[in-house]
A and B are shown apart, each in its own frame.
Chain A
Amino acid sequence: MIKVEEKLYQNRYRVDAGLPHIRIKNEDICNSRCPTQQCAVCCPAGCWSFEAGKIGLITDGCLECGTCRVVCDEFKNVDWNYPRGGYGILFKFG
């Protein structure tokens, strides 16, 4: 099965280096209180990971869909914003 990274490789992005547009409000909630880490399962771009009991987020490949914010409905622990104007995903076809 093709990995999500290979799919994202086809996309165009203008990454706002050092300024991720999505932040975790409190990582402790993800690591110790959230039982499901649903963000890591449902994110279509594989931005979220949960390994060795620790949540990880790298927004470079983000497709700006909003899924992680919407699935985190129990803890509302995702501080979700659009990237600054002009940055982020640049769909060639959309």
Chain B
Amino acid sequence: MSEKFDVIVVGAGPSGNAAAYTLAKAGLKVLQLERGEYPGSKNVQGAILYADALERIIPDFRDSAPLERHVIEQRMWVMDERSFVGGHYRSEDFNKEPYNRYTIIRARFDKWFSDQVQKAGALVICEMTVKALLRNEQGHVIGVEVEREDGKIYADAVILADGVNSLVATQGGLRQDIQASNVALAVKEMIFLPRETVEARFNLSGQAGVVIELMGSISEGMVGTGFLYTNKDSLAIGIGCMLSDMKAQRTTPTELLERMKAHPAIAPLIAGGETREYAAHLIPEGGYKALPQLYGDGWLMVGDSAGFVNAVHREGSNLAMTTGRLAAETLIELFQNGNEPSAANLARYKAKLDDSFVMKDLKKYRNITDTLDKQRQFIGDYPNLLNQAAHTFLTVDGQDKQSKEKEIMAAFRERRSLFGLLGDAYRLWRATR
């Protein structure tokens, strides 16, 4: 390709699409390269779409985007082997437009997003894997090399949105490869059921949906969570745990998911369903401390490539879209003022990130992974104690309530000691402030 572009975007996931769309809308000459047969064919997510991040890019997205259900109820289940203690929040306020969150099916959604990118004027080429970054003598990134003969394509700037494994950035020396301790491995199934069955099982009607986040015994002592999301006529069920833990415990992820599916609280929800796809994906959960250099001469890094995931709140796609948009806006401002995309000028991208919820949230939870990693009682002991406590308290058997309370407190003290309990409260507070 002898043409030169203003910007090349590598990858057509949420971050790449947000960047390419924003750039093309501003009239820049954009090339977006995607290795899959179609945008979305390589992409995996739970998936929840956070409307706000997309609204800031495509305000009327609801008119045409393929959305499954808007979320009116969030359940959080803390599990032990046979039970769960749960918190549910369901509100009619979430059942009013404009809806705040939706379940989506990524292969369909990404295709739609990519259509919008193309309508905005970007050139999108699929089935093209980027092999390397091109640099000039000063080391500035000046384009990419694709797996074709004479596959050199030039641009003033390159946005790396090539996902969690980001071979391009790693091999190009822009960041270290991901570490097992900074990444979760998630496995997921799409289970289909008649629409009426989904609605009856989850107390739903119309387009409303429920999401369930699961923690406790299902992660078998590893740092991780499970999920069960309702789509129109399917359920997305999955579990993700830190890869370093899976490695240490010699856990086979498929079997971990099967055991979770067999839990007595979960099995009836998915019973009779037909699994039509099985997927796996790494999630960069290293957070603030694991972020690489985010920009340099002629390049910016966005989305999963850079590790923009808020693991505590299960948010990623909104960080991806936001970082993609901010990277694009940085470039648009530079080009409009006739400035070079040098590292010094692209520092404005970092400033924009710092000013947004993205960095603020990542910073807030910068210690949580370390805390959970070192303080396993939050994963094993507490879910177990909570379930035991509920069981003791809710079993009517002639024992008086005060001695039941004493029994519960004694169980907590026995497992964690009084100082342990106070210390844990402090640790959790420290890790999330």
Spell out A's residues near B (CB within 8 Å): 1-2, 4, 7-8, 10-11, 14, 36, 38, 41-42, 44-46, 63-67, 69-71, 73, 80-86, 88-94
Tell me whether A42 and B253 are in contact (CB under 8 A).
yes
* Residues of chain A within 8 A of B246, CB atoms compared: 41-42, 71
Q: Is the CB of A10 within 8 A of B253?
A: no
Is B389 part of the contact surface with A, judged by Cβ < 8 Å?
no
Q: Would you call B333 an interface residue if the criterion is a C-beta within 8 Å of the partner chain's C-beta atoms?
A: no
Q: A90-B36, A93-B277 are known; give 11 further A-B pairs, CB within 8 A.
A: A4-B254, A42-B243, A63-B279, A69-B177, A82-B35, A86-B37, A89-B41, A91-B277, A92-B107, A93-B276, A93-B279
Q: Which of B42-50, B72-80, B360-368 contacts A (4 or more CB under 8 A)?
A: B42-50
Contact B282 A63 (CB under 8 A): no
Complexed CA–CA distance, A65 and B243 (Å): 12
Which 10 residue pairs of A and B lie closest in terms of their CB atoms, listed nearest first?
A86-B127, A44-B280, A94-B106, A85-B127, A7-B278, A94-B107, A63-B280, A66-B165, A65-B280, A44-B253
Q: Establish whether residues A93 and B282, one from each chain, have CB atoms under 8 Å apart when the complex forms.
A: no
Also in contact, A90 and B167, with CB within 8 A (given A7-B254, A42-B253, A64-B42): no
Q: Could you tell me which B residues sit within 8 Å of A by CB distance? A: 35-37, 40-45, 47, 105-108, 110, 126-129, 147, 164-165, 167, 177-180, 183, 185, 187, 189-190, 234, 236, 243, 246-247, 250-255, 258, 275-282
Measured CA separation A49–B243 after assembly (Å): 18
Q: What residues on A are CB-neighbors of B247 within 8 Å? A: 36, 38, 41-42, 71
CA distance A10 to B110 in the complex (A): 21
Complex Cα distance, B254 from A46, in Å, reads 9
CA distance in complex: A91, B44 (Å): 8
Find out whether the CB atom of B106 lies under 8 angstroms from the CB atom of A73.
Answer: no
Residue of B47, B108, B164, B255 near A66 (CB, 8 A) is B164
- Identify 19 residue pairs between A and B in the complex whose beta-carbon atoms are under 8 Å apart, listed by A's number: A10-B277, A44-B187, A45-B280, A46-B254, A65-B185, A65-B281, A66-B178, A69-B177, A70-B243, A71-B247, A83-B35, A85-B129, A86-B35, A90-B37, A91-B41, A92-B276, A93-B108, A94-B42, A94-B43
For A38, what are the chain B residues with a Cβ–Cβ distance below 8 Å? 247, 250
Q: Are A10 and B165 in contact (CB under 8 A)?
A: no
| Residue among B35, B105, B128 with most chain A CB within 10 A | B35
Specify which of B164, B179, B189 is in contact with A73 (CB 8 Å cutoff): B179
Complex Cα distance, B258 from A46, in Å, reads 15
Instruction: Find chain A residues with CB under 8 A from B189 CB.
Output: 7
Q: Shortest Cβ distance from B80 into chain A, in angstroms?
A: 21
A2: B residues at CB distance < 8 A: 258
Across the two chains, which residue of chain A brings its CB closest to B192? A93
| CB-nearest residue of chain B to A3 | B254
Evaluate whether A86 and B282 lie within 8 angstroms (CB atoms) in the complex, with A91-B40, A94-B43, A94-B107 already known: no
Taking a contact as CB atoms under 8 Å apart, the answer to whether A94 and B279 are in contact is: yes
Contacts known (A70-B177, A91-B43, A91-B44); A1 close to B255, Cβ less than 8 A: yes
